């Protein structure tokens, strides 16, 4: 397993990060423990979770994923072997995260409550990387990097990024978190956070967790340069386009137990041009004798701005396939073909 610097934190994290959002909904506690055991055996030292998880978000399951990780730490005594990342929700009308039923905001009261609850569920005294799951400000669309701009309506109660970072600074001083990261952010948001940290002596963001895949390369438009010049590396999620890039949903297929079959979500990967683009990449992998999932993950892993690729699996077989992508090298001819396909069908799934 390759280990890469997490920003300027001094930490080294595995190029593969274990995602956890299915635990507590599609996966049982025992299955979650088995996945963590197997990942650790393969040298994966980086786990990512969130107070929101599991997905889809529901009041009755919220926080269950962190509980499963906490019970694994307690059973195995493995806390010191893992770089642990979790997240606090951003602006949302979901009201079940806070004890008083407030809608989610990134203000002091809510962040402090969220952090203390995550620490308790995880059974740990500290979080290695505490991330803002999405911004407090209204944005053009979830993920903050649209291909079609829609101007969001401003709000009076927006919490400034510097104010949010000041809350996290206090958590760092208290020893509750070590480092800070962003998620679903835009180039403006990342640079605003970097500038505030430098000007005010606040914690520097070490990473940005955004969607990045063969069918969503919007990160390259502005964030790639930011990531490289500011050492705010990408933690890539949905690099398999929620499973679409494996080919399992082709021609309208709905496999038993798959996320689309269970929850009828994932419309992000069903917009105009998506089916044709996804089919093109799956066919390209077959032409070069590659597993389509491994080709998709290897493409993201090779990018110079990528710190780690977050994988999500519901079975140990899927987990093995995804982790093995770290050893796959894509030949120059294939990379050229991928770029050509991208030019024809760019970013259908932002």
Residue that is written with structure tokens 């386009």 in the block: 241
Annotated active-site residue in 53, 212, 244, 281: 53
CB-CB neighbours of 251 under 10 Å: 7
- Of the candidates 46, 49, 45, 87, the one whose C-alpha atom is nearest the C-alpha of residue 66 is 49
Cα–Cα distances in angstroms (integers) from residue 76 to residues 28, 36, 81, 296, in the given order: 17, 10, 10, 33
Written as one string, the DSSP assignment of 114-158 is HHHHHHHHHT-S-EEEEEESS-SS--SSTTS--SS--PPPP-TTP
Strand (E) or helix (H) holding 59: none
For residue 199, what are the CA distances in angstroms to 165, 193, 196, 231, 276? Answer: 12, 10, 5, 17, 47
Please indicate whether residue 244 is annotated as part of the active site. Answer: no
Question: Which helix (H) or strand (E) element contains residue 340?
Answer: helix 332-344
Question: What are the backbone dihedrals phi and psi of residue 61, each rounded to the nearest 5 degrees, phi first?
Answer: -110, -10
CA separation for the pair 296, 317 (Å, rounded): 17
- Angle formed at CA 260 by CA 29 and CA 32, multiple of 5 degrees: 15
Nearest to 212 by CA among 202, 224, 204: 224
| Contact criterion met (CB below 8 Å) for 226 and 191 | yes
Q: Are 182 and 216 in contact (CB under 8 A)?
A: no
Report the catalytic residues. 53
């Amino acid at each position: 397993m390759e280990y890469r610097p997490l920003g300027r934190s001094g930490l080294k994290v595995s190029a593969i990060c274990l995602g956890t959002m299915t635990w507590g909904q599609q996966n049982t506690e025992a299955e979650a423990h088995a996945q963590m055991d197997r990942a650790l055996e393969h040298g994966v030292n980086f786990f990512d979770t969130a107070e929101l998880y599991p997905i889809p978000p529901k009041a009755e399951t919220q926080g269950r994923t962190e509980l499963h990780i906490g019970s694994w730490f307690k059973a195995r005594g493995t806390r010191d072997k893992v770089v642990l990342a979790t997240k606090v929700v951003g602006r949302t009308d979901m009201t079940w995260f806070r004890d008083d039923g407030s809608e989610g905001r990134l203000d002091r009261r809510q962040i402090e409550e969220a952090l203390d609850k995550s620490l308790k569920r995880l059974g740990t005294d500290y979080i290695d990387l505490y991330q803002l799951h999405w911004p407090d400000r209204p944005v053009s669309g979830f993920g903050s990097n649209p291909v079609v701009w829609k101007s969001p309506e401003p709000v009076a109660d927006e919490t400034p990024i510097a104010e949010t970072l000041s809350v996290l600074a206090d958590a760092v001083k208290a020893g509750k978190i070590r480092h800070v990261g962003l998620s679903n952010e835009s180039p403006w948001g990342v640079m605003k956070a970097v500038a505030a940290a430098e000007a005010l002596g606040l914690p520097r963001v070490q990473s940005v967790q955004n969607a990045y895949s063969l069918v969503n390369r919007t990160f390259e438009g502005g964030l790639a340069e930011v990531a490289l010049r500011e050492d705010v590396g990408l933690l890539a999620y949905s690099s398999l386009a929620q499973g679409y890039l494996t080919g399992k949903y082709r021609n309208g297929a709905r496999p038993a137990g798959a996320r689309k079959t269970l929850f009828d979500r994932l419309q992000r990967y069903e917009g105009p041009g998506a089916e044709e683009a996804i089919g093109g990449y799956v066919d390209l992998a077959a032409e070069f004798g590659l597993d389509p999932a491994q080709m998709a993950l290897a493409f993201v892993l090779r990018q110079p701005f990528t710190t780690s690729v977050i994988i999500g699996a519901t079975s140990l077989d899927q987990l093995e396939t995804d982790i093995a992508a770290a050893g796959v090298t894509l030949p120059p001819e294939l990379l050229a073909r991928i770029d050509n396909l991208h030019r024809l069908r760019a970013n259908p799934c932002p």
